[in-house]
Structure 1
């Protein structure tokens, strides 16, 4: 697996990526008119302002531990308890002026940067995460992934593409490539004897591959390629390479739209490529 630019690995680099990503959302919000805030986005039921409200709400909860006290109507896009929990922060701000929500984000993001920049904090220090206590480095990666994804949702709705070569983009790609063995072998159910390679043409350029083999539990197992891990490949392995841009790859991996909404090329088995792309979604 290789990426250029590479994803940050140290705490300072992750804090910088987090700060840059949250600031990008703030900057987008500062340019929004009332009509812009009301534009629908790729997340069902959410406008541009709702996307920002979601980021504000989750960062505020992680920082303070306080859960908004508000009733959530039976929206069609809220389908489970986790969705209802997330929706509380959005519902709380539905009557707020968009600019005020952006002010909130700027304030809470500064507090979060201060928290993660504390002199005694290390990348392994355990802090509260969205899924429970977790090391600061893991927490930051998860939050960067989520916020950068919503930043791209906002950009798509506004027609203002950008930030595809940022630290946030690299973190997204790094986490996706790390998940690829599971996504290819288990989620897509690609048969043993297949090798799947994904080439991202950029702005975050990278290549990751998975060799699928049999395992003891009778289910296919993915072995990462280009990682220094040896495998007993077979000359008859079937190679399939999927080539697409950072934008197309991350939109698909975030579950935004279907295959007809992205451009990609395939060298090898078209059916294998389609199954991989259909099962590539890894963002919660």
Structure 2
């Protein structure tokens, strides 16, 4: 059996990104594994540890028994503590240990996906002891590994794959949170519209429309009279939405027309990832 047709897009995107990660880190010497990445608090080693750990959990492996240090400044809530466990337990692993465990884990995971016969709505393990559908789990793994691939590419000075299959999944996933950012978090006026014009390797135009009750929705149709228009390149968009950079650091890459104060509030609340 092979993966269900509705899951194939996610499986293919995950495979593309995770194989890219393996190729990026394979030639690294020991010191390069400690390089800081755009992911807050995490080094190259930490990102690879996270990928290994999350794929092991999808395989059904038990979580490590480990006590986190108390001085991890970037760990501030239960979700972050959960994610940090798989990372901190590998913080002293050597480069050969990291690459060999990554390779072995990916072999197991790819075999699992090739033999996957469960329906997309099957409930599977999720972080913090919760459950999620198999479809959501695989979509979020495709999302996660693409973003972390880009973290590594930026750190190692090897740009690429900004328009890969994973990028499309990341775009669509991030857009789900855009209506809340504009309508609720930034407090856009009722009966208004805000346009996002994104260019670069991945181009798209989306309009967030806020109705008379303050509820937001996203569509691909242009607005004739938006209260604000924000234009930026795709790399800047995803970095902002994934909390990799603050708007002040990339203001030269963002063009705003219309209500400047509203645009500033939108950008202040732009990060939608945990």
Specify the alignment match of 1:57 in structure 2: 53
Match of 1:168 among 166, 184, 187: 166
- Residues paired across the two proteins, number: 265
Deviation at 1:203, TM superposition (A): 0.9
Match of 2:241 among 231, 247, 253: 253
Moved over 4 A (4+): none
Tell me the distance in 2 between the aligned counterparts of 1:123 and 1:142: 13
Specify the alignment match of 1:97 in structure 2: 94
Specify the alignment match of 1:199 in structure 2: 197
Give the TM-score of the pair, scaled to structure 2.
Answer: 0.89
Give the TM-score of the pair, scaled to structure 1.
Answer: 0.86
1:243–1:97 Cα change, 3 Å: same
The answer to whether the aligner puts 1:87 opposite 2:84 as a matched pair is: yes
Contact 1:11 1:122 in 2 (8 A): no
Tell me the distance in 1 between the aligned counterparts of 2:249 and 2:159: 16
RMSD after superposition: 2.0
Specify the alignment match of 1:136 in structure 2: 134
Question: Is the deviation greater in 155-164 or in 250-259?
Answer: 155-164
Specify the alignment match of 1:187 in structure 2: 185
Q: Which runs of 5+ in 1 are unaligned?
A: 1-8, 228-232
Contact 1:62 1:130 in 2 (8 A): no
Deviation at 1:255, TM superposition (A): 0.6
Match of 2:220 among 217, 221, 226: 226
Q: Deviations over 1:180-231 (max 9, x none)?
A: 212211122212132111122131111211111232xxxx21022337xxxx
Contact 1:116 1:136 in 2 (8 A): no
Tell me the distance in 1 between the aligned counterparts of 2:205 and 2:118: 33
Match of 1:34 among 30, 39, 42: 30
Specify the alignment match of 1:14 in structure 2: 10
Q: Which runs of 5+ in 2 are unaligned?
A: none
1:142–1:79 Cα change, 3 Å: same
Tell me the distance in 2 between the aligned counterparts of 1:252 and 1:70: 32
